[in-house]
Amino acid sequence: MRKILFAALFLALGLITACSSSDDIAESQTQSQIESNIVGTWELKTFDKGWAQVSSFNSREVTLSFSKHGLLTITNNTSTDLSPLPYSGTCPFTVNKEHHVTINGVTLEYEVNGTTLRLAKDIEADGICIILTNIDN
pLDDT band at 21 (very low <50, low <70, confident <90, very high): very low
pLDDT in tens, 73-117: 999 999 988 888 899 999 999 999 899 999 989 999 999 999 999
Angle at 99 between CA 125 and CA 135, to 5 degrees: 100
Peptide bond into 86 cis (omega under 30): no
The pTM for the full model equals 0.73
pLDDT in tens, 119-128: 999 866 678 9
Q: Which amino acid is at 116?
A: T
Strand partners of residue 46: 56, 131
